[in-house]
Structure 1
């Protein structure tokens, strides 16, 4: 770990962009890999995020999912076909509107949903372990840096 006391401040500041890009690239490479999330089915990022959305918002139609996720119905439908083939979702007739199809997770889909939540909890633990021993001021500085960066990007 670098400390400003032991190194020139400008030298460290110049190294921050590359360090941040390396972290982003490593995370993106890891996140791109298909995983099984406890189902023995390889799931891509778009698939597990749709499973997460369905688990958080049960019994929505394809149109409603597309509208809320701000993506096309075609993109939702295409991913749903893959998830249905993998037995992760089920399509049912809406009992309140018999012309509408609603989407729900199967037991296998709920397994993927829960394992994905655990995956995010693990990432949270890793980040927590990196900042936990820092002072409140350091944690605020890290948060403010990330907040400013997010707003600028």
Structure 2
């Protein structure tokens, strides 16, 4: 038989799993990032990586995203078709292509940052006026959980 401490920890685990599921559903939805056509999670994530590592080449991008070059090439093809990124020959290595975000891609990137800021604001509102020691405990809990998940 479980004691109250074990029962509450199990409830927390179940609630956290539900939060993960809900977040995953929201995060995987394709959204209009101000460019008049929806972008999938993989597309905005890839665009974000290109924007934050301007001039990155395909192999390095695949490594950063944790996918194969073939998979990243498929996403890049869609981003190019949507006019969000361009491929250019690397002047230092003609056999390599570097990736750049177009002005239209910059719009999508800015909307993505807005979306992330809305999420941060929501977290701040949920935490409200919680005491610093409780906020620190939640932060440490989440860091430990992320480390465990990453093993």
Q: TM-score with structure 1 length normalisation?
A: 0.87
Gapped regions of structure 1 (runs ≥ 5)? 1-7
The equivalent of 1:79 in structure 2 is 75
Matched, 1:111 2:144: no
> What SS does the aligned partner of 1:71 have?
coil
The equivalent of 1:56 in structure 2 is 52
Q: Indicate which of 68, 92, 98 corresponds to 2:94.
A: 98
Gapped regions of structure 2 (runs ≥ 5)? none
Distance 1:118 1:147, change over 3 A: same
The equivalent of 1:31 in structure 2 is 27
> What SS does the aligned partner of 2:73 have?
helix
| Residues in 2 aligned to 1:111 and 1:35: alpha-carbon distance in whole angstroms | 13
> What SS does the aligned partner of 2:130 have?
coil
How much does 1:10 deviate? 5.8
The equivalent of 2:18 in structure 1 is 22
- Runs of 4+ aligned structure 1 residues displaced above 6 Å come to none
The C-alpha deviation readout for 1:50-107, integer Å capped at 9, x for no partner, is 0000000011221221233332110111100011111111111222323322111111
The C-alpha deviation readout for 1:1-38, integer Å capped at 9, x for no partner, is xxxxxxx7665434212211111111111111101111
The equivalent of 2:36 in structure 1 is 40
User: Considering only aligned residues, what root-mean-square deviation do their CA atoms show, in Å?
Assistant: 1.7
> What SS does the aligned partner of 1:87 have?
coil
The total of aligned residue pairs comes to 146
Which stretch shifts more, 100-109 or 60-69? 60-69
The C-alpha deviation readout for 1:106-147, integer Å capped at 9, x for no partner, is 111111111111111111111111114000111112112212
Which stretch shifts more, 58-67 or 42-51? 58-67
